[in-house]
Amino acid sequence: MPALPLDEAGKYVAAAYIVFVVLLVVYIGIMAAKLSRISQEIEEIAERAEREQAAGSRQQSAADPEAGIETPEVSR
């Protein structure tokens, strides 16, 4: 087959490179969605851990009233 003229060949070349870029963008989009879900879960876990920690320290201070009182710093 003889070489295609530039205006016709250009469409095929553009299509091939666009397909590659689209595939790449779709892949990166899917990975970005996954990562945002992971970071959202991390936030949820961090909030939950903070809540549990706060509840734990409240229980501890209720059992031992002096446990939560900080000793005042003595300046020299």
Partner 1 sequence: MKPSVLGTLALLTALLIGAGFALVFFYAANEADQGFVQKIFYLHVPLAIIALGGFIVAGIHAIRHLRSGEAVHDARSYVSIHASVIFGVAVLVTGAIWAKASWGRWWVWDEPTLVSFLIVFLLYCTYYPLRYAIEDRERQARYASVFAITAGAFVPLNFMAVRAAQSLVHPRTFGTVEGGMPTDMWLTFLVCFAGLALLWVTLVSFELTAKRASGRLARLRRALADGDPDPSATGVGGRIAPGRAGAR
Judged by the rule CB under 8 A, the positions of this chain that interact with partner 1 are 1, 3-4, 6, 8-10, 12-13, 15-17, 19-20, 23-24, 27, 31, 34-35, 37-38, 41-42, 45, 48-49, 52
Distance CA 64, CA 29 (A): 52
Give me the least distance between CB of 67 and partner 1, in Å please.
17
Distance CA 73, CA 2 (A): 90
Under 8 Å between Cβ of 68 and 61: yes
CB neighbours of 57 closer than 8 A, spacing ≥ 6?
68
Residue 40 or 61 with smaller CB distance to partner 1: 40
Residue 27 or 67 with smaller CB distance to partner 1: 27
Residue 6 or 74 with smaller CB distance to partner 1: 6
